[in-house]
Amino acid sequence: MHVAALNVPPAIIISPDPDRAKQALCRYVALMSLLDTLLKKHVVLVTGKGGTGKTTVCAALGLAAAARGLRTTLVETSGATRLAELFGLPPQVLAVRAIRPSLRVLTLTSEACVEDFVVKRVRFRSLYRLVFRNRVMGPFMDSVPGLPDLIQLGKVYDMQRESDDNGDPVHDLIIVDAPATGHGLTMLSSPETLMDMTLAGPLHANSKLVRDLFTDPANTALLLTSLPEALPLNETIDLFHALGPKQSLVAGCVLNRVLEVPFTSGLAWPLVAKHLEALSDPRIQEALHWTSLWLERTALQEQALESLSREIPRPIAIFPFIMHNYKDPESLETLGDRLDTLKWPPQASPAPRWMKS
Ligand SMILES: Nc1ncnc2c1ncn2[C@@H]1O[C@H](COP(=O)(O)OP(=O)(O)OP(=O)(O)O)[C@@H](O)[C@H]1O
Ligand SMILES: [Mg+2]
């Protein structure tokens, strides 16, 4: 008896024939979009190289989740406030604020999370300031490796366990706009770092709880962001490899800011270009030049997509480059829908018509 198993999404298929087991598994997975997979989790951490679209992807995913009725909370870490600003809210730390009926945003800093934790338990803010923000403890809290990251993950852990008066979870889905690649990896490893440092005691035990939650693929997913350019692409691939056993958390990738291929109606560009070259009008020659550059660029993107799907065997959603105001909610909703379209395994797209001479 052969068993094929996959964590993204969770599936076990049992068959006497190993090839048939694998095929059945692929068919099962292909029925689910990346969005289906992400919406089955409780926490999605979005990470990638700086500037690749983490915040944009969080917003798009948040809108898509809320539109499907999930009580969704977007969490920004380390004091970042761009998500809140994207939805027209002024910066404010540690206040859950409504964007839409099912969509909220929260900005965290490690200091605010400690204060919140301590004040909830001892109920005296002045005592917190006396004990934790004095000249000895303040710098200590900031200098322990991984502690600020762990404290913020701990807050997300607490949020996941919050329930309302009916016993229903307050947050169906928490989307974390995590720090960029290297720091993102450190944040994800922070519970283990603290466990190694403490070996036993309450901090060790709490770190373990957080570690167990954030390494459970049934609960937590990682969504990687990248751009169709060499540097961010290689960084995404390196990040995936550096994740080691945590690779099972990676639900998929978003290839962002992809220029759309023109002439999808089937225009045979090489033939058209040949006719246009024969015309002497400089304006037509200039248009020809820019069109050719655009097409070259889209060919490079095809290669980027190919290497990403070769190196990271996960669903890849393609977010188009938005030319006009990418901040308007309609554009973000359009991007969110892209998470719902791509199936897995990624289909090797046929070469665009214009590439065939
Ligand atoms: N699909 C898109 N189309 C056009 N512009 C985009 C798109 N996605 C993101 N951008 C632009 O790229 C910039 C970076 O995007 P974003 O802030 O989401 O990235 P980030 O990874 O969160 O950056 P940081 O590492 O600085 O937090 C944004 O200011 C926005 O202008
Ligand atoms: Mg950002």
Residue 119: the pLDDT is: 63
* Nearest ligand to the CA atom of 81: 2
Residue 31 — very low, low, confident or very high, per pLDDT cuts 50/70/90?
low
Give the residue whose CA is nearest to atom 8 of ligand 1.
Answer: 53
276-296 in b/e form (b: 16+ CB < 10 A) is: eeeeeeeeeeeebeebeeebe
pLDDT at 105 over 90: yes
Q: What is the pLDDT of residues 167-209, one digit of tens each?
A: 999 999 999 999 998 888 888 888 888 888 888 887 788 889 9
Best substitution site from 82, 254, 326 to test ligand 1's pocket, by max atoms within 8 Å of Cβ? 326
Closest ligand 1 atom, CA of 58? 18
Ligand 1 center to 139 CA (angstroms): 33
Q: Which residue has the higher pLDDT, 117 or 88?
A: 88
Best substitution site from 45, 52, 55 to test ligand 1's pocket, by max atoms within 8 Å of Cβ? 55
For residue 20, give the DSSP letter: H
- Rounded Cα distance between 34 and 254, Å, is 10
Q: What is the pLDDT of residues 233-249, one digit of tens each?
A: 999 999 999 999 999 99
Which among 48, 57, 56 has a CA at the least distance from the CA of 232?
48
Ligand 2 center to 291 CA (angstroms): 32
pLDDT at 15 over 90: no
Residue 14: the pLDDT is: 61
* Nearest ligand to the CA atom of 322: 1
- Rounded Cα distance between 349 and 27, Å, is 18
pLDDT at 24 over 50: yes
Rounded to the nearest 5°, which phi and psi values hold at 52?
-85, -5
Residues lining ligand 1, judged by CB closer than 6 Å?
50-56, 82, 180, 256-257, 319, 321-322, 326
Residue 324: the pLDDT is: 77
- Residue 101 Rama label (left phi>0; alpha psi -120 to 50; beta): alpha
% of the chain exceeding 70 in pLDDT = 77
Ligand 2 center to 5 CA (angstroms): 34
Give the residue whose CA is nearest to atom 16 of ligand 1.
Answer: 53
Ligand 2 center to 50 CA (angstroms): 7
Q: Is 190 helix (H, G, I), strand (E, B) or coil?
A: helix
Give the residue whose CA is nearest to atom 14 of ligand 1.
Answer: 51
Ligand 2 center to 280 CA (angstroms): 47
